[in-house]
Structure 1
Amino acid sequence: MHKKKIHIRTLIQIFLFILILSISINKTLSEKGISIPYISTASLHALCPFGGVVTIYQYLTTGTFIQKIHESSFILMIIGFIIAILFGPLFCGWICPFGTFQEFIGKLGKKIFKKRFNNFVPYKYDKYLRYLRYFVLAWVLYATILTGKLIFQDVDPYYALFNFWNGEIAVGSIVILFITIILSLFIERPWCKYLCPYGAVLGIFNLIRIFPIKRNNKTCINCKMCDRNCPMNIKVSEKTIIRDHQCISCLKCTSEYSCPINNTVTIESIIPYKS
């Protein structure tokens, strides 16, 4: 049962990764008069919900979008916020192709380092490093408002990954992509965990999400399987309701995936159980 559930998430991740890669390749081909049938030629900027976030100020003040950002980004941002209000950052744990990329590199890291993987950074430093992404978010928003340009593209490893063959990719984004690849062998989802500004935005919704992840104290056997399976190193076994800003709603901690006891770690239902 658990393996079947895991395969569903993995299949969704692989499908969306291949889809974004195909669209990016097709975009480049279309500029040369070639195209892959039935595949969109949209720019990656048009498919990124974070583009909607960085253009909010300009849209509210002038009614226009910043350079390279499309209306579709704004729509995707709104959809992402609605989902996050309900279930938290599902985008991060299930949809984001760059998160998937880091996760798959991490599988190699697990084989190399085994139990040491994702445990290299001492907690006393890790707990503060996790807030770096909010400083990145603040910088990106400030710089974008100040310039009216898509500043983040110059350091965005996601954009570099799906456009590294493109001459317009900034050296900074390539460098950060390379560093992220290396770190992914030691730390699960290092970009997501420490630097992603969109993850910072969605992480805030964990504090107010309508259907949070809950742990039933009465049935928990304290095996800590939930802790070991959490890619973001959240101590699920020490909480009753998981409202950590780092949660990516991957559901790896739940009874549907890793917890050996049924209905112990679950997504809050409409009629919650009494703890």
Structure 2
Amino acid sequence: MVKKFKRTIIQCLSSVLMNANITGFWKGKIYTGRSKNLCLPILNCYSCPGALGACPIGSLQVSAGCSTYGISFYVIGFLALMGVLFGRLLCGFLCPFGFIQDLLHKVPFPKLKIPQKLDRIMRLGKYLVLAFLVLLLPLLVADSYGSTIPYFCKYLCSVGTLEGGIPLVSMNKPLQATIGWLFSWKIFVLGIVFLSSMIIYRPFCKYLCPLGAFYALFNRFSFYRYYIDWNKCTNCGVCSKICPMNVVPVKSPNHAECIRCGLCKNKCTQNAIQVEKITGIHFKEENHEKNIQK
């Protein structure tokens, strides 16, 4: 319980620090200081009045749609570095929208477990969002002036609606007069995400988040990894039952869907789930099935 509380504190501090321009919320203005030139390692809307940095997915779309600069290798390089170092640990500990979903899931509401086969298919959604809405469409679809639309931000990003759209519209009467179908659509999508978060653990992270999809590609190779100490593991199954992301740690402790929340590690009575040391490799994933059968 103590370790889980510590993670909550880290999530809370991360959300506050990355959106520390408090005056922006009652002034209804976006912070435009120098720090906005730097990308954050997590999904956090550039248009949030409190945001001190830029959203990497938004930055990637803007650069991809710009005929002058093309796709930003700085953003890709930065995200790749974060992926190599931490994998989806960033999703589990630093992402404000992930934190909001965690809180919503605590609401006493009937929980839904999606069938495994359907869940696997639905999880491909975030990779499709990354490939098409974030990369391909901004790169390939441009107007006569060489500019394009940040499709993910404009049509699907619930983070932008919550952090940027709602605060700015509520504080600016001129913007309220321009509200149309698009804002209504984004509010509808946000409502669906909020409602489903009460029923399903982190649905946006599982099925829609392109940044989660990007970091998932590095989970097996990141410096921050899990390993199973087979001298301690009894194959009791507690870790797989408790995992909110529906991962089976004893089969794949570094599964692409693992957000490193640490719940399996904390609940293991034998202390068999450990953090991988960068200097040594304690296991080979291809031997997991053999070890499980023992």
TM-score bracket for the superposition, by shorter chain length = 0.7 to 0.9
Over alpha carbons, which structure has the higher Rg?
2
Alpha-carbon distance between aligned partners in 1 of 2:138 and 2:160, rounded to the nearest angstrom: 17
**Does the alignment pair 1:81 with 2:41?**
no
Alpha-carbon distance between aligned partners in 1 of 2:29 and 2:168, rounded to the nearest angstrom: 13
Match for residue 161 of structure 1? 162
Alpha-carbon distance between aligned partners in 1 of 2:29 and 2:235, rounded to the nearest angstrom: 59
**Does the alignment pair 1:131 with 2:139?**
no
**Match among 211, 226, 238 for residue 239 of structure 2:** 226
Match for residue 151 of structure 1? 151
Q: Which runs of 5+ in 2 are unaligned?
A: 38-43, 47-52, 143-147, 170-174, 176-181, 285-294
Question: Contact 1:21–1:162 at 8 Å: present in 2 too?
Answer: no
Question: Contact 1:27–1:41 at 8 Å: present in 2 too?
Answer: no
* Cα drift, residue 64 of structure 1: 6.5
Q: Give, as a single letter, the amino acid of the residue that structure 2 aligns with 1:84.
A: G
Question: Contact 2:227–2:253 at 8 Å: present in 1 too?
Answer: yes
* Cα drift, residue 171 of structure 1: 2.6
Q: Give, as a single letter, the amino acid of the residue that structure 2 aligns with 1:266.
A: Q
**Does the alignment pair 1:63 with 2:69?**
yes
Question: Contact 2:193–2:203 at 8 Å: present in 1 too?
Answer: yes
Alpha-carbon distance between aligned partners in 2 of 1:233 and 1:271, rounded to the nearest angstrom: 27
Return closer, same or farther for 1:274/1:94 CA change in 2, 3 Å cut-off: closer
Q: Give, as a single letter, the amino acid of the residue that structure 2 aligns with 1:149.
A: I
Alpha-carbon distance between aligned partners in 2 of 1:55 and 1:41, rounded to the nearest angstrom: 14
**Does the alignment pair 1:12 with 2:25?**
no
* Cα drift, residue 89 of structure 1: 1.5
Question: Contact 1:26–1:41 at 8 Å: present in 2 too?
Answer: no
Alpha-carbon distance between aligned partners in 2 of 1:220 and 1:53, rounded to the nearest angstrom: 42
Alpha-carbon distance between aligned partners in 1 of 2:206 and 2:17, rounded to the nearest angstrom: 24
TM-score after normalising by structure 2: 0.73
Question: Contact 1:80–1:91 at 8 Å: present in 2 too?
Answer: no
**Does the alignment pair 1:49 with 2:47?**
no
**Aligned residues: percent identity?**
28
Q: CA RMSD in A?
A: 3.1
Question: Contact 1:84–1:202 at 8 Å: present in 2 too?
Answer: yes
Corresponding residue pairs, total:
248
Match for residue 96 of structure 2? 97
Return closer, same or farther for 1:44/1:190 CA change in 2, 3 Å cut-off: closer
Q: Please identify, of 81-90 and 13-22, the stretch whose mean Cα deviation from structure 2 is larger.
A: 13-22
Runs of 4+ in 1 over 4 A off after TM superposition: 30-33, 40-43, 77-80
Describe the superposition over 1:65-99 as per-residue Cα deviations: whole angstroms up to 9, x where unpaired: 89xxxx9xx56x64443232123112211111011
Q: Give, as a single letter, the amino acid of the residue that structure 2 aligns with 1:150.
A: P
* Cα drift, residue 56 of structure 1: 5.3
Match for residue 50 of structure 2? none
TM-score after normalising by structure 1: 0.77
Alpha-carbon distance between aligned partners in 2 of 1:177 and 1:107, rounded to the nearest angstrom: 18
